[in-house]
Structure 1
Amino acid sequence: MVALALTPPSAERLRAVDGFLTEAWADQARHDERLRALAVEVRFDRGVAHLTGEVDEPEQLRMLRDRVGRLAGVYGVWCRVRVGGRDPVVVDLGCGATKQWPGNLGLDIFPAAGVDALADLSGSLPLADDSVDVLFAVHILEHLIDFLPLVDECHRVLRPGGVLHVMSPWWGHVNAVADPTHVRLLDVQTIKGVCLMRPPGTPRWHPLHAATDGASIFADLTPLDPDAAAPTPSHLARFFD
C-alpha cells in the first residue's frame, strides 16, 4: 500500500502561516495604491482569508479577492464586503446551530437556533434567481449522494459575480470516513470536474480558488454565463492537475 504523502499542518504551523500571511498582505497593501485606498480588513484564520469592509465598485472587490488569493498559503478567500453601500446577501447552507458569520441567512433541513428557514438541500432552494451574493456550503457536499443538483441551484440563485464557498473533508483524511453520514469522498480534482466536465447546457463555474490543507478541500466558485469564455489553462494550472 502506498502511504498518502499529504499531512495536514499542525495548529502551531497554521498560526505561524497566518502570521506570515498577515505580514505579507500588509506589505503588499503598502506598495499597491489600489489596495491602500480600500476600506477593507483582511484577516487570516488557518489559511482562510476573511474579507470585511466596503468598496465602491464590484471590480474593486474582484481585484481584492484576486490579490489576496495569490498569496502562497491561502486556502480560500471568504468575503462579507459591502459594495456601493449595499450589504451582501449571505446564505449558509446546512448551517445547523452555527453560521459562518452572524447575520447570515441560515438554511437547514432540521430546526436549530441558527436556522432561519427549513430547506431540503437535495431539492430546490427557497431562494429567488439572482438574489444571493455569497453562499457557504461548509461540510455539506459530502452528505449528499448527488450534490450536483445543489451546485446547480447555487448557480441559479447567485447574482453575477457572486461566490459559492465550499469546504469539505479531503478524501485522504480520516475525517472523510469517520462520520457515517458522509456518503461522498471529495478532492480538489472534484472541483475541476464541477467546473470543466459537465455536459453542455449545464451551469458553468469559474474557479476563483481551490486548495487542500491535507484535511479539508476548499473552493471559491463564481457563476459563468453560457457565453462567457472558459477559464484559461494558466489560471486552471494554479489549482488542478
Structure 2
Amino acid sequence: MVALAQTPPSADRLRAMDDFLAEAWADQVGHDDRLRGLAVEVRFDRGVAHVTGEVAEPAELRLVRDRIGRLAGVFGVWCRVRVAGRDPVVVDLGCGPTKQWPGNLGLDIFPAPGVDAVADLSGSLPLADDAVDVFFAVHILEHLIDFLPLLDEAHRVLRPGGVLHVMSPWWGHVNAVADPTHVRLLDVQTIKGICLQRPPGTPRWYPLHAGCDGASIFADLTPVPADADPPTRAHLARFFD
C-alpha cells in the first residue's frame, strides 16, 4: 500500500495556529491555579512552544511541559527555564553557526562562529555524565548513518529529568531526499522504535512528545532508568500507531 503524502500547513495557517495556541495556553493558565503564578513565558513558533523563565522546582517545569504538550497542534515543547535559581545547561548538537538560543553550548564537527567545541557526533561526546539539562538535535540525525550511539551518549550526559529535542525531515517530504548529505530517512514511528524496540540493556527513553507537521518530525525525549515502568498505552496512543 502506498502511503498518502502529507501536505505541510501553509505559512498563513501556521501563523493562525500559533495565535490559536497562544489563546488556548492563556485560557488554560487562567483556569489552572497551579500555572497561574509561574514566571514562565510561552511563545509558539510554527507549532513549537518555546518556554523561558524560571520555576521553583523541577515538578513545576514538568507540569508546564505536560500542559502545553496536551494542546492540539503542538509539535514540540522546547524549554530553556531556570529551575531553583540555576540556569539550565543547554547544548546544541551540530549547531554550525546557528544556535536555538544564544548562550547554548554549541558542538559541531567543523569549527565555525558559534561552535564552542569541535566534536565528532558519531563518537563520544566531550561532556561529563549527568552534566546537561537539554540537548537540541535539530537536523542532525538524518546526517548520521548510525545515530543510536549519539542517542546513547546523550542519555549518558543528560541529568535525570533532562530532555533531548529532536527535529528532522519527515521521510515523505522532498526535504528528506533533496540534500545529498542526508543518509537516513525518519518517521514518527522511528521515535517509537527508539523508545520501545531497542534491546534490553540499552539506554531507555520516554517520549514526552512526538509529532509531524508534514515536513518535519519532532520528538521530546527524556532518559529513564532500565527498571522504569514503560509508558502507558494511553500515553503512546497520543503519538504512535
TM over 0.5: yes
1:14-25 pair list within 5 angstroms? 14-25=14-25
Q: Partners in 2 of 1:61 and 1:231 — Cα distance?
A: 20
Q: What is the Cα-based RMSD across aligned positions, in Å?
A: 0.8
Once the two structures are superposed, what CA deviation does each residue of 1:45-100 show, in whole Å capped at 9, x if it has no partner? 00000000000010010011000000000000000000000000000000000000
Identity of aligned residues (%): 85
- How many Å apart are 1:4 and its aligned residue? 2.6
CA–CA separation in structure 1 for the residues paired with 2:227 and 2:100: 33
- The amino acid of 2:81's aligned partner reads V
- How big is each residue's C-alpha offset from its partner over 1:97-129, in whole Å with a ceiling of 9 and x where there is no partner? 000000000000000001000000000000000
| Map 1:1-241 → 2, pairs under 5 A | 2=2, 4-241=4-241
Q: Which whole-Å CA distance do the structure 1 matches of 2:239 and 2:125 have between them? A: 29
How many residues of Structure 1 are paired with residues of Structure 2 in the alignment?
241
Paired residues of 2:93 and 2:108 also in contact (CA < 8 A): yes
- TM-score when normalising by structure 2: 0.99
Unaligned segments of structure 2, at least 5 residues = none
Question: Can you give the 5+ residue segments of structure 1 that lack an aligned partner in the other structure?
Answer: none
What CA distance in whole angstroms lies between the structure 1 residues aligned with 2:2 and 2:222? 36
Matched residue of 2:87: which SS? coil
Query: Distance in 1 between the 2:126 and 2:102 partners?
Result: 20
TM-score by length of 1: 0.99
What is the deviation of 1:37? 1.0
Q: Write out per-residue CA displacement over residues 10-64 of structure 1, whole angstroms, 9 at most, x where no aligned residue.
A: 0000000000000000000001011001000010000000000000010010011
Q: 2 CA distance for matches of 1:233 and 1:159?
A: 26
Q: Partners of 2:103 and 2:64 in 1: how far apart?
A: 23
**Alpha-carbon distance in structure 2 between the residues aligned to 1:144 and 1:129:** 23
Aligned amino acid, residue 147 of structure 2:
F
Q: Which amino acid aligns with 1:160?
A: P
2-side partners of 1:204 and 1:194: how far apart? 8
